[in-house]
Chain A
Amino acid sequence: MDSATSETRTPAPDTRTPLRASADNGLKIVVVGGFGVGKTTMVRSVSEIRPLDTEEMMTRAGEDVDDTSEVRGKTATTVAFDFGRISLDARNVLYLFGAPGQERFWFLWDRLFSGALGAVVLVDTRRIDDSWYSIDRLEKHGTPFVVACNDFGGPAFTTEQVRDALDLDPHVPLITCDARSRESSKLVLITLVEHIRALYADPARATRQELV
């Protein structure tokens, strides 16, 4: 079975933390990145619940599936993803999804990104190549995103070096973060939402392509 969350498996919490009765609007932000880059860590840092994991099925026959090469010969398989939750106010609840960046999981992206505010691309500067596919796909679909380099204490690259290596559009924010830190991860999310607000405040960019 494919498991997208094997990097850090957490047991289900003993008790659930219920939402307020007035909660009525779920919002989504997706954290994408390669294996072991710290997606689950970032979700855990800011989530009010311990990150939960769940799964989505891909069936052999069906238009839901982009690429069945991974599952040929099986009736169905499942892909796990994890998520956390932030109650923003009485009505708005933000869900953070950790999504694997590998191409074979892209059928899952479509579902996670449907109606999502935008994405955080989490990058390990020691393995920058892992991020190309993700960034390319987000750009193609017009999904707003920021790039956050998780600081693993390795050789420090300047943001300009990383921007060059990723061939990143100059308007896309690029920041360094520590996914273990609540404040740092919070700042990444704020940077993303400010970026989205700026994009939609600009009428030239007000139209948005949907993932299909």
Chain B
Amino acid sequence: MSRPGRDDAPDRLYTLTQGRSRSGPDNPFDLVTLVVAECAPVTGMQSEHAAILRITESPTAVVEIAAELELPVSIVRILLSDLLAAGRVSARHPRTSAVYDPDILEQVLVGLRNL
């Protein structure tokens, strides 16, 4: 199977991110951080950035963006931090501290039972 990302030379992926290969410990994007576009794509924008802005017209998790773009998650996190720094997307981070919140667990149970 051939698809971008999986079988491409890593060189191409590094070019997408101007040579950065890893997002670093301070990158705030979790796999399930929900990303929302704050503006429309503009002419001249890097095509991956434009694609992310189109995908995130409605809230979209980082992992879904990666699947849609067929790029590794670590590359997408770098692209997203660029867009976040430019104010072009906003990020709704998981309330990880609330994982132990009984209210959240109850909401999860109610949601699952209603499936």
Look across to chain B and name the residue whose beta carbon is closest to the beta carbon of A24.
Answer: B92
Decide if B58 touches A53 in the complex (CB within 8 Å).
no
Contact A95 B108, beta carbon cutoff 8 Å: no
The answer to whether B30 and A114 touch across the interface, beta carbons within 8 angstroms, is yes
**Chain A interface, >50% SS class:** mixed
List of B residues within 8 angstroms of A20 by Cβ:
58-59
Q: Is A73 an interface residue (CB 8 A)?
A: no
Number of A-B contacts (CB under 8 A): 156
Q: Is the interface of B mostly helix, strand, loop or mixed?
A: helix
Contact B32 A190 (CB under 8 A): no
Q: How large is the interface on B (under 10, 10 to 19, 20 to 34, 35 or more residues)?
A: 35 or more
Contact assessment for A196 and B31 in the assembled complex, using a CB-CB cutoff below 8 Å:
no
List A158-212 residues whose CB lies under 8 Å from chain B.
Answer: 182, 186, 189-190, 193-194, 196-197, 200-201, 206, 208
Query: Hey, which chain A residues are within 8 Å of B43, CB to CB?
Result: none
Taking a contact as CB atoms under 8 Å apart, the answer to whether B111 and A78 are in contact is: no
- Residue numbers of B with Cβ under 8 A of A are 1, 5-7, 10, 13, 21-22, 30-34, 55, 57-61, 63-64, 66-68, 70, 72-75, 92, 94-96, 98-100, 102, 104-113, 115
